Amino acid sequence: MDINRTPKVSLWIGSTIILTIVGALLLLPWYTHGSISLRGAVTVQDTDSRKEQPIADVEVTADLAANAAKSDSTGLFTLPLRGFVRRGHPLVLHFRQPHYLPLDVSDFVGDKLYIVHMSPIPAVALSTTRPAVKVANVRVRYSGRVMTEFNVGSAVKTFQIENKGNVPCKGQRPCSPDGKWRATPGSAALDAGTGNQFRSARASCIAGPCPFTKIDSDHLSQGQQTYTVSAIDWSDTATFLLEAEVVHPMVSQIVHESYPVIFGEGLNFTLPSTAEGVSIEAELDGQMIIFPLGPELFLSWASCNARVNPDQTKVYRCDLKPGYSFQ
């Protein structure tokens, strides 16, 4: 046996093992990492950042994508890529929306947010011989249900606890807090009446040896219609007073007005989730008109859309139609 070959064989085997380990380590990320998804947002292209409104229903595709994606009401899209795609891969993103010019963006797969701006399809210009209708003094009107209270009056009641002072308790309860004197308990209750509630309920000793009395408990019922008080007296007869304000709660409809923010040819406003009967009041060529929005968000002079925030408030945007301008 050639003993000189043994070190060479060992060296070859060791090199093979090292190369195998290195190769496995290089390939490990390809198998341990899941597929990548690109996240981004689509907004309107404008030189004024205040006018870069989110664009919904934009179809987002790419040759490396597992499937197409669509932007939501906030412009957000999440595009899943095919399993073999890794960071640094070049790709072309395609954005399509019927009301905006097609957009193709060349980029690389990376750990970043993809913010894309799309330009609206230019509106067909109207005849210059017809002057634009002036839209002015725009206000938003809506109603909301609020809980209000009607002040009914106040309720008053007195009660007495009859007792004789300086009588030793001798362990026969009830006794004074220090256990020395015999005490007498007493209680009373106020009722606000059906549909009414108490506010600022209070109880006090008002006559007799009040320092030797104690209000044991006073509480309102769950519906705040009944107020109950209990007390003890370990001296002579004492008088207690119960008093509270009585209100009648009711649900009322209140009309609110707010002013939208206008940037260029678009107006923006937000409304609470409880808003009802939304309408827009505006002057068109000097004539004040109220335009109910309705569920279709239709206006004769503007195109409107709305999106819902996570807290359920609504964000509205209305863009003027051709032939109208804000004054």
Q: What is the pLDDT of residue 28?
A: 46
What's residue 263's pLDDT?
85
CA-CA distances (angstroms) from residue 65 to 60, 62, 148? 9, 5, 55
SS3 letters for 195-221?
Answer: CCEEEEEEEEEEECCHHHEEEEEEEEC
**Is the domain covering 37-118 a CATH 2.60.40.2140 domain?**
no
pLDDT tens, position by position, 48-61? 888 888 888 899 99
Query: 């009859």: which residue's tokens?
Result: 162
Buried b (16+ CB within 10 A) or exposed e, 217-240: eeebeeebbbbbbbbbbbbeebbb
Task: Report how far apart, in Å, the C-alpha atoms of 84 and of each of 20, 32, 52, 138 are.
Answer: 22, 12, 35, 54
99: exposed, middle or buried (Cβ count in 10 Å: 0-12, 13-18, 19+) = exposed
At residue 253, the pLDDT reads 87
Low-confidence ranges of the chain (pLDDT < 70): 1-34, 123-129
Q: What pLDDT does residue 31 have?
A: 43
**Overall size of the chain counted in residues:** 327
Structure tokens at 299: 């206006």
Tell me the pLDDT tens digit for each residue of 162-171.
999 999 998 8
Read off the pTM.
0.56
Residue 286 to residue 134: CA distance in whole angstroms: 8
Question: Are 55 and 43 in contact, with CB atoms under 8 Å apart?
Answer: yes
As beta bridge partners, residue 217 has: 230
| Residue in 270, 272, 266 with CA at minimum distance from that of residue 299 | 266
Cα 9 to Cα 6, 22, 114, distances in angstroms: 5, 20, 54
Sequence-separated (6 or more) residues with CB below 8 Å from residue 224: 192, 197, 198, 199
pLDDT of residue 94: 96
